[in-house]
Structure 1
Amino acid sequence: MASRLLLSATLFASVFAASSAFAYPVTVKSCDREVTFDAPPARAISNDVNLTEMMLALKLQDRMVGYTGISGWKTLDEGLREGVKELPELSPKYPTKEVLLNADADFYFAGWNYGMKVGGEVTPETLEPFKIKVYELTESCIHIMAKNKPTMDDMFVDLLNLGKIFDVEDRAEALVAGYRKQLDDITTRIGGIEKPVRVFVYDSGTEKPFTSGRFGIPTAMIEAAGGVNIMEDVDKSWTEVSWEPVIERNPEVVVIVNYGDVTAEQKIAFMKENPAFKNLDAVKQDRFVVLEYVEATPGPRNVQAIERLANTFHPRNM
């Protein structure tokens, strides 16, 4: 009996390995490159909290040797801490090439300004000689190539591509199908919108605010929730602007991005107590929405955040 079970297990493992091998090589589009994988990565590293959550959403912990770029910038979310408790943080901020090499990594999931800098030490080109494949966050591609402003499909494409890379396509497709259904439900609930709500994304800064422009994922999230980003004409993903256009465009809702040393409550208080903002509709009506950093950057929490935005933008349609 034992030998029969062992034979069955061995046969199953052989069939699984053969079927997995049959799926390769796979090629995915990563910004302006095509990246081919001859086998699923076994020693992956992700950078930043949102990209790491994409890996966790696809249950890829057992393919990872660690993550980077979280604790040096922001507090590690308790839910994420539970998901990666067996994995080390290899670097609190952007990793050096040595960090990736010392971990014997074979895959790096990052983005431009999400673990890589244009012309920096760690890029797809600098890692290629060491056989470390890089997949770039789609939203971040604007830093190295022309692209359309993001939609939620950008995040979905990343999940689906990760599914192909790691041979978990069914898992990725099911996850994305669920997100699409949630978005459809939100669209149906808020119904036809005569005029989108004017929204300002306040990330940080007092002298000049740091905000999300046309190419940041908040623009796609705001639009999906029935709003319009008042900085949609700024051809950047995240950038510093002056307060004058914010005041002139008079947002009806302010989205606060919560992370770092200055709390969301302090950011709201700054806007409420500053006389320059007293006539803003958002301030007069106390319409602020707080999104955690991980919700305001591409990742699995975007759709749930869109639902909260829609509830604030269109409360009568709830």
Structure 2
Amino acid sequence: MSMKRPAATMAAALCLLTAACGSSSDTASDTTDKAAGQTSGYPVTLDNCGRKLTFEKAPERVVVMNGASVAEVSTLLALGLGDRIVANQQGYGRSEVSGRAAAIKKLPTGGIKPNTAGDIPREAMFGLRPDLALSVTSYGFEQKNGFATREQLQQVGADSYISPQGCDDDPSRMTVADSYQLLREMGKIFNVGDRAEKLIAESEKNIAAITEKVGEEKRPKVMVLFASPTGETDFSLVFAKGIVNNILAKAGAANAFADSAETLFANVSKETAATTDVDALVVIDASGTDAPAYAKKLLKEFPQWPAAKNNTYVTLSDSMYLGPSNDLAVKKIAGRLHPDAL
């Protein structure tokens, strides 16, 4: 996931954004025969942010840019394509999918030192000799940030791909459907479309079953925010828009601060937070943070919240972002907020 921001600042502060696998196990760990060398189904042509991409065969040297995301690397792993990655800059340290964080940590990094914008510098990118570079947003291909542009990559024989809703670097409109689009398009590019469609179908089935069970019950109002690395109360990055709202809706909940901003995040004052009926917290965890401890601290600090009176909180990590494990977030949130329905 991403946002309009200095990428280095957000990536360093949050170590994230933006996932994992379907019902969501790592059953796709082996690369299929199709991806390994068969060329049936090619050429494949996609429209990506106004550019026509044509693939004659599956890419073999993939570079995954940081972009404060784990969506792209997790999608490749879910499709069994980890062996195609020659350099991965994405990492989160936590995952709802067993083994996913460890699998990401084991991937090659290419020995790259990020530039001041927090990602792979232009010359370093060329030195990796990619045939495909993935970026969560257009930010990763902007020359002013010290990155290789899409045109420059094309000149050295490399394709480039920007993830759904990343064309204008605005994830505020993102939904779970964008996670499916990313899976589907990676499936097409690497000729593993059957695997992608299976993961999508599993996720859709899982989510539909939960949504049907919670029905039209009262929708608790939820605050979604990051666990503070320092443990201090911080409402400067409370989610207002984006995929989290779609996940909450499917889980039978609503964002208590959806009207606080038109952008992905709202900067909520402590006074506003204190006077808002927060029925539940969803605290997002990452390496270096302690989401359960942070949630308990907030509930103690704001005892007037219904969430505090009922000790209602959920901790999640990568499944709340763009990527292949959104069904896990829906399941965990619905299970905590509507236990009698499931």
Asked if these proteins are the same fold (TM beyond 0.5), I'd say: yes
Equivalence for 2:109: 89
SS in structure 1 at match of 2:145:
coil
More strand by share: 1
Q: From 299, 310, 320, give the equivalent of 1:285.
A: 310
**Deviation, structure 1 residue 299:** 1.5
Question: Are positions 1:236 and 2:254 aligned together?
Answer: no
Alignment match, 2:175: 151
Largest Rg, 1 or 2:
1
| Structure 2: gaps (5+ residues) | 1-32
Residues 60-102 of structure 1, C-alpha deviation per residue, up to 9 Å, x if partnerless?
Answer: 12222131132xxx43667135535763123475222233222
8 Å CA contact 2:215–2:252 kept in 1: the answer is no
Distance in 2 between residues matched to 1:218 and 1:113, nearest whole Å: 21
Q: Which amino acid aligns with 2:183?
A: L
Q: Which amino acid aligns with 1:261?
A: G
Q: Does 1:46 align with 2:64?
A: yes
Aligned length: 292
Q: Does 1:161 align with 2:181?
A: no
TM-score when scaled to structure 2? 0.75
Q: What is the CA RMSD across the aligned residues, in angstroms?
A: 2.9
Structure (1 or 2) with the greater helix fraction: 1
1:25 aligns with 2:43: yes
Task: Report deviation, 1:229.
Answer: 1.3
Q: Percent identity?
A: 26
Is the partner of 2:53 in helix, strand or coil?
A: strand
What is the correspondence of 1:182-221 to structure 2 with a 5 Å cutoff? 182-193=206-217, 195-204=218-227, 206-214=233-241, 216-221=242-247
Kindly report structure 1 stretches of 4+ aligned residues shifted beyond 4 Å: 113-119
- Equivalent position of 2:341 in the other structure: 317
Distance in 2 between the 1:223 and 1:114 partners? 29
Match of 2:155 in 1: 129
Indicate yes or no: 2:131 matched with 1:103. no
Q: Distance in 1 between matches of 2:73 and 2:299?
A: 35
Cα distance in 2 for partners of 1:110, 1:100 equals: 12
**Cα 1:317–1:198 shift into 2, 3 Å:** same
Contact 2:64 2:72 in 1 (8 A): yes
**Given the alignment, which residue of 253, 258, 274 partners 1:227?**
253
- The equivalent residue for 2:145 is 120
Partner residue of 1:60 out of 57, 76, 81: 81
Provide the secondary structure at the position in 1 that maps to 2:187: helix
Residues 56 and 69 of structure 1, relative CA distance in 2, 3 Å threshold: closer
Between 197-206 and 30-39, report the one with greater CA deviation. Answer: 30-39
Residue identity matched to 2:250: A
Q: Deviations over 1:124-179 (max 9, x none)?
A: 355333333222221444526xx883321110011001011111111111111111
- 2:93–2:101: 8 Å Cα contact kept in structure 1? no
Structure 1 unaligned residues grouped into runs of 5+: 1-12
Q: Return closer, same or farther for 1:148/1:268 CA change in 2, 3 Å cut-off.
A: closer
- Partner of 2:136: helix, strand, or coil? strand
Whether contact under 8 Å (1:108, 1:133) holds in the other structure is yes
The equivalent position to 1:80 in structure 2, one of 78, 83, 100, is 100
Instruction: Label 1:240 to 1:204 Cα distance change in 2 as closer, same or farther (>3 A).
Output: farther
Whole-Å separation in 2 of the counterparts to 1:119 and 1:199: 38
**CA offset digits 1:279-304 (Å, max 9, x no partner):** 11112211110001x12211122111
Do the aligned residues in 1 keep the contact of 2:138 with 2:167 (CA within 8 Å)?
A: no
- With structure 1 as the length reference, what TM-score do the two structures score? 0.80
**Are the counterparts in 2 of residues 211 and 240 from structure 1 also a CA contact under 8 Å?**
yes
**8 Å contact kept, 2:87–2:109:** yes
1:202 maps to a residue whose letter is: L
